[in-house]
Amino acid sequence: MNVSLKEIQAIDVHAHPYLANTEPYTPEEFVRKLSLSVIPNQIPPHYKRVKKQPFPGSNMWVQILIQRLAKKFSCEPTLESVVKERNIRAIDFRKYTRDLFSDAKLSGVIADFGYPQPLLSKEDYADLCGARIWEIHRIEPVMVQLSQDCQNFAEFREKYRANLAGALKQDGIVGLKSIIAYRSGLEIAPKDEKLAADEYEKFKENSYAKAKKLRDYCLHVAMEECTKSDKVMHIHTGIGDGEVVLQKASPSFLIDMLRDEKYENTKVHLVHGGYPWIEEAAFIVSILPNVYMDLSLQNPFSGHGVKRILSQVFEFAPFDKVMYGSDAFTVPEMNWIGVHLFKECFEDVLNSWIDSDYMDSETAQAIGEMVLYRNFENVYRKHL
């Protein structure tokens, strides 16, 4: 007997909301929606593209999406045909989105409403996709807003902590999130209020300022509040869009903070599993009992790489420490292909483990289900 994940529900532990869009996309607009900014802004005017030649800048995952959507729509596997077909269906955007979610058996999402800004409505997004939505509360927009409202660091410090504590009391908010990897990197210094205060004016003037000591301080406060409320601290790790501080984005930089005794009981969720440093993340979750990782972003954006990643991450990561994710952020096709590609790749990997006699098929099936939704339930159970 082989593993089959097709009928198994998936919970996506990291994705973003988007608005309904019933306007048709041109093929170029559609492919830009799929991009983590690899598509050039300006296609050279004399760029020659023959039939079937991939659109400039599109990579393997875009190719896989076109191929799979063509199969679903029974049309030619070209960008132009697929976009034409999806535009017809997307006129009723709510129905189209709900169909894609239910086809993928995608029943719930932890949504990061920190992107896009300004904030979208949770109710609207839940209604659009028909799945359960939980939220995380991003700390950076809070820091920026309060730096505008507060005259001095003492006031900022009080209001910042109160904001986080207040958010964590709300039902449906499962934790906090930091994108410090986009601002000053993951090498977090010990908490130091005096040094943080010294950088307050600089941050007040420019919310994009590195202000590392202040940012490190704010992350510590967020960790403390998550500990108190027993909710989960999400930390962006690894690559992201073009702004990330790549030199300091490996999850290994977090190790000193994560190993600190005072955070022994703090639940931490390494968003994007540190890709491409997934082996570091896998090792970290293997040694620290309350640290978890997801496979969002690398799935589906590494395309065929998802299969390699699944094999590699379980070289060290315990089976109960890894969760499904997509980082879908613009169109529901991303949520849809995320689940399908992941299930397809994981089935291959799990079946190869059965073939190698590492486990029987029931065990392999159970592992598949753990990563798709059971681990999520165990980590977040208290707050569902």
Query: Strands, E, within 139-218: which ranges?
Result: 173-178
333 binds Zn ion (CB under 5 A): no
Work out the angle between the directed axes of helices 60-73 and 332-355 (0-180°, nearest 10). Answer: 100
Residue closer to Zn ion, measured from CB, 254 or 297: 297
347 binds Zn ion (CB under 5 A): no
With CB under 5 A as the rule, give the number of residues binding Zn ion.
1
Residue closer to Zn ion, measured from CB, 153 or 275: 275
Side by side, which strands form the sheet with 173-178?
Answer: 10-15, 106-112, 132-138, 173-178, 232-236, 267-271, 291-294, 322-323
Mask for 100-119, x = binds Zn ion (CB under 5 A): --------------------
Residue closer to Zn ion, measured from CB, 156 or 376: 376
12 binds Zn ion (CB under 5 A): no
Residue closer to Zn ion, measured from CB, 134 or 353: 134
Q: Which stretch binds Zn ion (CB under 5 A): 147-155, 164-172, 201-209, 323-331?
A: 323-331
Residues 133-162: b if buried by 16+ CB within 10 A, e if exposed: bbbbbbbbbbbeebbeebeebeebbeebee
Cα distances from 369 to residues 2, 345, 352, in angstroms, run: 14, 14, 17
Q: How far is the CB of 16 from Zn ion (least distance, A)?
A: 6
The alpha carbon of residue 352 and the mean position of all alpha carbons in its chain are separated, in whole angstroms, by: 27
Of residues 227 through 266, those in contact with Zn ion by CB under 5 A are none
Q: What angle do CA 137, 143, 148 make, to 5 degrees?
A: 135
Tally of CB atoms within 10 A around 81: 16
Q: Which stretch binds Zn ion (CB under 5 A): 140-148, 190-198, 261-269, 321-329?
A: 321-329
Q: How far is the CB of 14 from Zn ion (least distance, A)?
A: 6
Structural contact between residues 347 and 2, judged by C-beta atoms closer than 8 angstroms: yes
Q: Which stretch binds Zn ion (CB under 5 A): 140-148, 325-333, 345-353, 359-367?
A: 325-333
327 binds Zn ion (CB under 5 A): yes
Q: What are phi and psi of 351, to 5 degrees?
A: -65, -35
What DSSP letter does each residue of 319-370 carry, written as one string?
A: GGGEE------S-HHHHHHHHHHHHHHHHHHHHHHHHTTSS-HHHHHHHHHI
Q: Which stretch binds Zn ion (CB under 5 A): 140-148, 168-176, 181-189, 322-330?
A: 322-330
Q: How far is the CB of 259 from Zn ion (least distance, A)?
A: 26
Which tokens belong to 26? Answer: 């041109």
Which tokens belong to 13? Answer: 């532990």
Q: How far is the CB of 115 from Zn ion (least distance, A)?
A: 6
Residue closer to Zn ion, measured from CB, 225 or 327: 327
Mask for 277-316, x = binds Zn ion (CB under 5 A): ----------------------------------------
Q: Report the interface residues with Zn ion, using CB under 5 A.
A: 327
